[in-house]
A and B are shown apart, each in its own frame.
Chain A
Amino acid sequence: MTAHDRPHATANVSLARRAWNIRRTALRMGAVQGQGYIGQALGIADVLAAAYFHALEYRPEDPEWEGRDRFLLSIGHYAIALYAALMEAGILPEEELDTYGMDDSRMPMSGMASYTPGMEITGGSLGHGLGVAVGMALGLKRKKNPAFVYNLMSDGELGEGSTWEAAMGAAHHRLDNLVCLIDFNNQQADGPSTEMLCAEPLKEKWEAFGWRCQRVDGNDLPAVAAALDAARAATEPKPRAIIFDTRMCKGVPFLEDREIMHFVRVEADEWAKALAVLEEGRPE
């Protein structure tokens, strides 16, 4: 792969700036509707930046290019974050930002494959993405296509039995072209994930299920990029998992400090304030 083929990975823009841009775009979309899963979007922005500007192969002008790495968003309500990443990647036009969540928009509040270029599956009924990823990884192997399948899921989805059916299936079929990314922000609808249905010890669980597993700080960009590299470079015939410990609302301190909740409430006047606070931390 030459630099020419991957302008998104070689452009002279730092990953930190990409992550910052994703956060800013997500905040602007949240401001459009006065709501949105902004806490999750701010928390996962670093992982998405490293995925879209370091790890993934794709062609912005041809989102269905057969050679692309497949990125599955199992967590439909993280759509606001993925839309921001797809805009940063040039797959979605930034001009559509103001249509987020509106009637006839290509960007519904919960991600759906039939609405949005670059959205591979319909997530939202949680615990579905990894099973579909298993099928796609099997299909890619059948076609001798060297692309990878990435499935982004939440810690809450670890409670779904289907996640573990898929985890066993991926290991059984030795799917070394499958990378599962787990956003561990320890928040789900009713409270901290570890208090709802505790999945710990999580790294050991994935390893016991036959996966190669890493656990890193999901808001430490160099660590995130290195983990994505290691997952891709590994040679064992095993699927790969990366658990990212992330902080909800990362990058906007007054929201980070707010009593952490699954659906972070942002008052009408606070969107502008959040954007202003983010602006202060703008990287080069």
Chain B
Amino acid sequence: MTLASMARKHEPRTVKLDPDGKPARTSAMIASLDAEGYDTVAAPFGHALVAAAREDERIVGLSADLAKYTDLHVFAQAMPERFYQMGMAEALLMSAAAGLAREGFMPFATTYAVFASRRAYDFIAMQIAEENLPVRIICALPGLTTGYGPSHQATEDLAIFRGLPNMTIVDPCCADDVAGMVAAMAAHDGPAYARLPRGRVPKVLTRWKPDYRFELGRAQLIRDGRDALVIATGFMTMRALDAAERLAADGVDMGVLHVPTIKPLDVATILAEAGRGGRLVVTAENHTVVGGLGEAVAAALLTNGVAPTFRMIGLPDEFLEAGALPTLHDMYGLTVEKFAERIKGWL
């Protein structure tokens, strides 16, 4: 019996070919983001953690067989006696991190966002969040940053962790945010979850706002604009800033409010900016439109009586396709072109 939901695998498909007859693109696991025009930094998380650990004896690092893929190898090489390889065992990773925190340490535990949010959730909820322990859960491959399909695409991690009391949630845009975030987390008390851009990571925010400094719990206006305000998080802030340049050429003036901390949400700044000037307000996130930044902002606006024209850019409520990342970003509207088109369509 073929289930209706499985029927598509029996349908023939045509792979696009280049003029020379070769397949046009290949699915890529380690596809760096399309971040044209930005300087990049190698493994900003690993280097920032080493710097923080030199100042703070409590910091230890743990990974579940993904140190090399979460930039934690930099820390493991610099401070091998402070690194714990827990093996491919995410329940153990989170439980052991909780145990180390109970003994006075500050564990930074890394894996992929899908595994932390789906496989290890109960251990994070009961042993880390309920106990309010200073464990930092740092996760690569957030949202649509891999072409491997739903097994690796953490499109609902923010929704999962937003429901968890005590948990601070950060979705950094770029290398500037990552460096600032690590320092801020070392000074923070409770548990925290962060989405991690890894490998060669662009420096975006300081290019647009040279004095930009990440602050935990604070949203910051990176660019002002009269016609529309984008409230963005993660790498969608980079897309918003690039789209704003493109739109400016077409006479559209779009502001960008960057919200790297999803929880606790900087409601005061969001209300102040969204309530100013009768602009179109659009949220943008690398996450399903269910339960992420968009709905958090919508709730904040509605419960506070601020009611601009409001739209959301995010991933659809679907399991996404596998494929090459640029193809998928185009398909799901995460490219600069698609971003700008949608804003124009709404104005």
Q: Which residue numbers of A lie inside 8 Å of B, CB to CB?
A: 113-114, 120-122, 124-125, 127-128, 130-140, 142-143, 161-162, 165-166, 168-169, 172-173
Q: Which residue numbers of B lie inside 8 Å of A, CB to CB?
A: 60, 84, 86-87, 89, 91-92, 94-105, 107, 122-123, 125-127, 130-131
Given contacts A114-B131, A131-B91, A132-B102, is CB(A162)–CB(B86) below 8 Å?
A: no
Interface residue SS majority, chain B: helix
A143 adjacent to B103 (CB under 8 Å): yes
B91 adjacent to A132 (CB under 8 Å): no
Give the chain B neighbours of A120 by CB distance below 8 A. Answer: 102
A131 adjacent to B103 (CB under 8 Å): no
A135 adjacent to B122 (CB under 8 Å): no
The CA of A131 and the CA of B97, in the complex, are separated in Å by 9
Of listed B84, B94, B100, B101, residue having the most chain A CB within 10 A: B100
Give the chain A neighbours of B100 by CB distance below 8 A. Answer: 135-136, 138-139, 142
Give the chain A neighbours of B122 by CB distance below 8 A. Answer: 125, 128
Give the chain B neighbours of A165 by CB distance below 8 A. Answer: 87, 89, 91-92
The CA of A165 and the CA of B99, in the complex, are separated in Å by 15
Given contacts A128-B95, A169-B96, is CB(A135)–CB(B126) below 8 Å?
A: no
The CA of A165 and the CA of B84, in the complex, are separated in Å by 15
Name the residue on B nearest A149 (C-beta): B99
B131 adjacent to A122 (CB under 8 Å): yes
The CA of A265 and the CA of B216, in the complex, are separated in Å by 52
The CA of A128 and the CA of B98, in the complex, are separated in Å by 10
A140 adjacent to B123 (CB under 8 Å): no
Of listed B96, B98, B107, B122, residue having the most chain A CB within 10 A: B96
Q: Min CB distance, B217 to chain A, in Å?
A: 24
Give the chain B neighbours of A124 by CB distance below 8 A. Answer: 126
B91 adjacent to A137 (CB under 8 Å): no
The CA of A143 and the CA of B105, in the complex, are separated in Å by 10
A138 adjacent to B84 (CB under 8 Å): yes
B95 adjacent to A135 (CB under 8 Å): yes
B103 adjacent to A132 (CB under 8 Å): no
Q: Min CB distance, A94 to chain B, in Å?
A: 27
Name the residue on B nearest A136 (C-beta): B99
Give the chain A neighbours of B130 by CB distance below 8 A. Answer: 114, 122
Name the residue on B nearest A131 (C-beta): B95
B103 adjacent to A169 (CB under 8 Å): no
Of listed A127, A132, A136, A162, residue having the most chain B CB within 10 A: A132
The CA of A125 and the CA of B123, in the complex, are separated in Å by 9
B89 adjacent to A136 (CB under 8 Å): no
Q: Min CB distance, A131 to chain B, in Å?
A: 3
The CA of A173 and the CA of B93, in the complex, are separated in Å by 13
Give the chain A neighbours of B103 by CB distance below 8 A. Answer: 135-136, 139-140, 142-143
B126 adjacent to A166 (CB under 8 Å): no
Q: Min CB distance, B111 to chain A, in Å?
A: 13
A135 adjacent to B102 (CB under 8 Å): yes
Q: Min CB distance, A129 to chain B, in Å?
A: 8
Name the residue on B nearest A123 (C-beta): B126
Report 6 cross-chain contacts, Cβ distance below 8 Å, ordered by A residue: A132-B98, A137-B99, A138-B96, A139-B102, A165-B92, A168-B87
Name the residue on A nearest B62 (C-beta): A135
B91 adjacent to A162 (CB under 8 Å): yes
Give the chain A neighbours of B127 by CB distance below 8 A. Answer: 121-122, 128, 131-132
Which of A125, A134, A169 is in CB contact (< 8 Å) with B126? A125
Q: Min CB distance, B55 to chain A, in Å?
A: 18
The CA of A161 and the CA of B105, in the complex, are separated in Å by 26
Q: Min CB distance, B58 to chain A, in Å?
A: 10
The CA of A120 and the CA of B125, in the complex, are separated in Å by 17
A131 adjacent to B126 (CB under 8 Å): no
The CA of A280 and the CA of B205, in the complex, are separated in Å by 77
Of listed B92, B122, B131, residue having the most chain A CB within 10 A: B92
Give the chain A neighbours of B105 by CB distance below 8 A. Answer: 139, 142
B87 adjacent to A133 (CB under 8 Å): no
Q: Min CB distance, B137 to chain A, in Å?
A: 14
A134 adjacent to B99 (CB under 8 Å): yes
The CA of A172 and the CA of B94, in the complex, are separated in Å by 17
Give the chain B neighbours of A132 by CB distance below 8 A. Answer: 95-96, 98-99, 102, 127
The CA of A131 and the CA of B89, in the complex, are separated in Å by 10
Which of A128, A138, A142, A169 is in CB contact (< 8 Å) with B123? A128
Give the chain B neighbours of A137 by CB distance below 8 A. Answer: 99
Of listed A122, A131, A161, A168, residue having the most chain B CB within 10 A: A131
A166 adjacent to B95 (CB under 8 Å): yes
A134 adjacent to B104 (CB under 8 Å): no
A136 adjacent to B91 (CB under 8 Å): no
Give the chain A neighbours of B126 by CB distance below 8 A. Answer: 122, 124-125, 128
A139 adjacent to B87 (CB under 8 Å): no
The CA of A130 and the CA of B84, in the complex, are separated in Å by 17
Name the residue on A nearest B130 (C-beta): A122
Name the residue on B nearest A140 (C-beta): B103
The CA of A127 and the CA of B120, in the complex, are separated in Å by 12
Q: Min CB distance, A227 to chain B, in Å?
A: 24
Give the top 8 A-B pairs by smallest Cβ distance, nearest first.
Answer: A135-B99, A131-B95, A139-B103, A135-B96, A162-B91, A165-B89, A136-B99, A165-B92
